[in-house]
């Protein structure tokens, strides 16, 4: 059953599973004993490499100290590609591994989840599992996910996102797979590991959290068990993101964002997402830009688009953002929430339009460096009419779109995409 089918005829909503988790300072030091407890003997570590830090080395050495053999695949890319997944699957099978560890942010965790599903199906290509619960074998290898960013929450969710590089080179495709069997065995979130996260990357990941929290709160799924988590994650993000960005060694700031990202993911896990994520997936499909950055740019536009159908929910968001809404009407409070989000985006130094993103915009920029010939011509985000059209079409086919608060058509979504490309955020406040 697809989400768009589920929304229309059935009042029944599904609560998806969470993994066991260890959260807090020092949690990563438990990985060796925990891996032994789960039954790891020879594990494949999947990571982007986290070069410039010693995080991978410390975790690998901890596993080895506890008698676990380790094979390392350290070539996971931002917006993980299907070939990253399949290369890791080949390495896993050739080395007769029995388990996985992912170290990093959403890219490492997502690629690892896809690899586990592929391994469980005799190495079938990961792209075959796009969609909802497409895997058939519940017995895939155990997986410990160690997070080094406060962003995606992939270590606790049933979703993973992969870029399909086998499609038409003029129409690249990034998709979400939702699969209960992809949920990790153990999540480890340790805010001490976030200390090395760059300033801009911390900010962008923080807006991924804000998107994860706000979208289920206004989603058409209206999943009641998700609403409290969603609001509290917004509150935590509003309270802690600025400090985490500008004083990265501040433990309360890092720990606050750790909890924000974790419970925001638990909110969307069953509460759904919307077109903030759909726009982000589309832009990164065409330009290989950072997911959190894309969410940050799209978020104010999508909030403004959705507000007319749920002013009351956005008024609630304003309140948990710390805005004094006393004496305001619901629409006025909703407008104040939008202004608060724009203030936060500016306070943490994120570009405000997609056409403002260039090779100097952020440290993880991959413009023009993608895996196929297509990306050589994608060194600058055009934002022209053709660009807006193709991104809008990608949005309408995204698995997150059916949950959006407001009905989405090409005619209604195109202006949102266009404004994200070239519009002035101050226009939304007038």
Any idea which residue has 């934002």 for tokens?
Answer: 383
Q: How far apart are CA 119 and CA 43, in angstroms?
A: 13
Which pLDDT belongs to residue 377? 82
Which pLDDT belongs to residue 49? 83
List the 173-178 sheet strands across, edge first. Answer: 131-132, 173-178, 159-164
Does domain 203-429 sit in CATH 1.10.287.3510?
no
- Low-confidence stretches of the chain (pLDDT beneath 50): 1, 9
Which pLDDT belongs to residue 12? 81
Any idea which residue has 């590089």 for tokens?
Answer: 165
Which pLDDT belongs to residue 167? 84
Q: Which residues contact 32 (CB under 8 A, 6 or more apart)?
A: 62, 63, 65, 66, 68
Q: What ranges do the domains of the chain cover?
A: 3-194, 203-429
Cβ–Cβ under 8 Å, residues 283 and 237: no
Which pLDDT belongs to residue 2? 55
Cβ–Cβ under 8 Å, residues 267 and 212: yes
Residue in 301, 238, 295 with CA at minimum distance from that of residue 268: 295
Which pLDDT belongs to residue 360? 84
Does domain 3-194 sit in CATH 3.40.50.1970?
yes
Which pLDDT belongs to residue 8? 58
* pLDDT digits 0-9 by tens, 413-422: 999 999 999 9
Q: Which residues contact 191 (CB under 8 A, 6 or more apart)?
A: 24, 25, 150, 251, 254, 255, 257, 258
Which pLDDT belongs to residue 376? 84
Residue 236 has which token pair?
Answer: 């935590």
Which pLDDT belongs to residue 53? 87
Pairing state between β 186-189 and 173-178 = unpaired
**CB-count burial class (<10 Å; 0-12, 13-18, 19+) for 130:** middle
């Amino acid at each position: 059953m697809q989400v768009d089918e589920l929304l229309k005829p059935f009042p029944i909503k599904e609560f998806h599973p969470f993994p066991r988790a260890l959260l807090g300072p020092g949690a990563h030091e438990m990985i060796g004993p925990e891996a032994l407890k789960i039954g790891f003997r020879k594990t494949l570590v999947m990571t982007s490499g986290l070069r410039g830090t010693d995080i991978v080395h410390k975790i690998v050495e901890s596993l080895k100290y506890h008698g676990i053999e380790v094979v390392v695949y350290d070539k996971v890319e931002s917006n993980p590609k299907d070939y990253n997944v399949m290369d890791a699957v080949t390495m896993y099978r050739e080395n007769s591994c029995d388990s996985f560890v992912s170290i990093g942010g959403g890219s490492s965790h997502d690629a690892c989840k896809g690899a586990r599903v592929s391994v469980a199906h005799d190495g079938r290509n990961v792209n075959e599992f796009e969609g909802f619960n497409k895997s058939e074998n519940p017995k895939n290898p155990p997986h410990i996910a160690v997070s080094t960013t406060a962003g995606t929450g992939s270590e606790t969710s049933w979703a993973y996102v992969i870029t399909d590089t086998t499609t038409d080179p003029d129409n690249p495709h990034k998709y979400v797979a939702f699969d209960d069997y992809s949920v990790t065995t153990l999540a480890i979130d340790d805010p001490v590991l976030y200390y090395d996260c760059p300033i801009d990357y911390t900010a962008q990941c923080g807006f991924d959290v804000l998107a994860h929290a706000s979208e289920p709160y206004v989603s058409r799924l209206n999943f009641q068990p998700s609403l409290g988590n969603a609001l509290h994650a917004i509150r935590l993000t509003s309270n802690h993101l600025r400090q985490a960005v500008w004083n990265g060694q501040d433990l309360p700031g890092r720990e606050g964002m750790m909890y924000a990202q974790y419970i925001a993911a638990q909110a969307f896990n069953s509460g759904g997402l919307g077109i903030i994520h759909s726009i982000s997936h589309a832009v990164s499909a065409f330009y290989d830009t950072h997911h959190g950055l894309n969410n940050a740019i799209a978020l104010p536009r999508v909030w403004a688009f959705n507000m007319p159908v749920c002013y009351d929910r956005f008024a609630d968001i304003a309140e948990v953002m710390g805005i004094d809404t006393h004496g305001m009407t619901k629409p006025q409070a909703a407008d104040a929430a939008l202004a608060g989000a724009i203030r936060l985006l500016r306070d943490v130094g994120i570009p405000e339009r997609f056409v403002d993103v260039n090779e100097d915009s952020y440290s993880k920029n991959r413009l023009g460096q993608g895996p196929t010939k297509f990306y050589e011509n994608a060194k600058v985000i055009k934002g022209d009419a053709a660009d807006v059209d193709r991104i809008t079409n990608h949005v309408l086919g995204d698995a997150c779109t059916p949950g959006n608060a407001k009905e989405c058509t090409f005619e209604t979504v195109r202006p949102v995409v266009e404004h994200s490309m070239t519009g002035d955020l101050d226009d939304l406040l007038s």
